[in-house]
Amino acid sequence: MFRTEKKTKTKKRLLMITLIAASFLIIAVVGWIGFNDWDVKKSYQRVETALGISKVTVPSERETEEQPNADGNSELPEPEPTESHEPEEEEEEVPPEEAIQYIEGQELPEEPTYVEGILIANKKNPLPSTFAPGEDKEAREAFEEMAAAALLEDYRLVAFSTYRSFEYQTELYKRYVDRDGVEEADRYSARPGYSEHQTGLAFDIGEVNKEQDWATSRFGETDAGKWLAENAHLYGFIMRYPEGKEFITGYMYESWHFRYVGLEVAKDIYENDTTLEEYLGL
Ligand SMILES: [Zn+2]
């Protein structure tokens, strides 16, 4: 009798302990899932991670939001930035409504245009076909002085194209149009009467024995090209068609084309990071 009673008591106690333990387990599991935003899979993975079964770490909500790509590309390295300026020139379209454009049907004038004493040749201000001053002597002297200074830095500069006659430009432009079409040719070559080279004040500059870089965007990337961009104003020259000013000048970036405007104007344009068009309010 006593033994049976004791056995029953022990059984009841065991049942109670089991029930309490089970309750704690259920509360713990539900609580854990709740703690993990009711995400069962996430909760399970966390347990796995904690027990060292799985090496997968579950990202927190914040980290998940910060992932730039949801397609699994976020771990790929960033693409290399493009170094060459050539693709930019191709991609960068000049907005046609803002760009300085030729006035179709415009006749060449009888006299050249001077603004504040500065001779202008751009897509709106052409030169007479008879205007043929030859290479400007003052500009040539300034160039020689600049070339001598560059030589001290071991850069051997050469002006490979300066004065071009109206007749020569006519030939040149026709050749470019035949090759690339009018629209493309207009982006890098002037129509006859519109070339700054006809003023005798424009100098296309490169390095001696580096013909492969002449009149290419690569020149601007060379040490000599960089030196020239930083120092030309000290000799009265400006980079006439700078990068990012295509819609103002009407021409793509030309790291090699420099225009003689005299010391004072060149310094002002260089220091204000501007263009001849902006300086003169054209
Ligand atoms: Zn030029």
> Residue 39: is it exposed, middle or buried by C-beta count within 10 angstroms (0-12/13-18/19+)?
middle
Q: If DSSP codes are grouped into helix, strand and coil, which group holds residue 204?
A: strand
- Same domain for 146 and 267, yes or no, is yes
Same domain assignment for residues 50 and 154: no
The residue among 196, 187, 214 whose CA lies nearest residue 89 is 187
Do residues 241 and 277 touch, judged by C-beta distance below 8 A?
A: no
Catalytic residue status for 78: no
- Specify if 82 maps to a domain: no
Does any domain span residue 94? no
Gap from CA of 185 to ligand 1 centroid (Å): 14
For tokens 């854990």, the residue is 32
Is residue 92 in a domain? no
14 found inside a domain: yes
Q: Tell me how far the alpha carbon of residue 190 lies from the centroid of ligand 1, in angstroms.
A: 9
Task: Find the 96 Cα to ligand 1 centroid distance in Å.
Answer: 22
Which two tokens mark 70?
A: 């949801």
Of 196, 254, 277, 278, which is the active-site residue? 254
Question: Using CA atoms, how far apart are residues 232 and 79, in angstroms rounded to an integer?
Answer: 35
Print pLDDT tens along the chain (282 aa): 455 555 566 677 776 756 656 665 555 554 555 555 555 554 455 544 444 444 333 333 333 333 333 333 333 333 333 333 333 334 445 454 567 889 999 999 999 999 999 999 999 999 999 999 999 999 999 999 999 999 999 999 999 999 999 999 999 999 999 999 999 999 889 999 999 999 999 999 999 999 999 999 999 999 999 999 999 999 999 999 999 999 999 999 999 999 999 999 999 999 999 999 999 999
- 263 and 162 together in one domain: yes
Residue 173 Cα, ligand 1 centroid: separation in angstroms?
A: 13
For the chain, the distance separating the N- and C-terminal CA atoms, rounded to the nearest angstrom, is 119
Q: Let me know if residue 242 belongs to a domain.
A: yes
- Going across the sheet that includes 254-260, the strands are 157-161, 202-207, 254-260, 237-241
Q: Has residue 133 been placed in a domain?
A: yes
C-alpha 199/C-alpha 114 separation (Å) is 11
Q: What is the pLDDT of residue 68?
A: 33
CA of 161 to the centre of ligand 1 (A): 7
Pair (192, 134) in one structural domain: yes
Q: What is the pLDDT of residue 20?
A: 56
Full residue range of the structural domain in which residue 258 is found: 102-280
**Interatomic CA distance for residues 276 and 122, integer angstroms:** 10
Short-list 169, 65, 181, 70, CA closest to 126: 169
Sequence-ordered list of residues with C-beta below 8 angstroms from that of 248, at least 6 positions apart, any chain: 100, 275, 277, 278
Is 95 inside a domain boundary?
Answer: no
Residues contacting residue 214 through CB under 8 Å, at least 6 positions apart: 160, 204, 206, 256
Tell me what pLDDT residue 100 has.
Answer: 83
The per-residue pLDDT for 12 is: 73
**Does residue 38 form part of some domain?**
yes
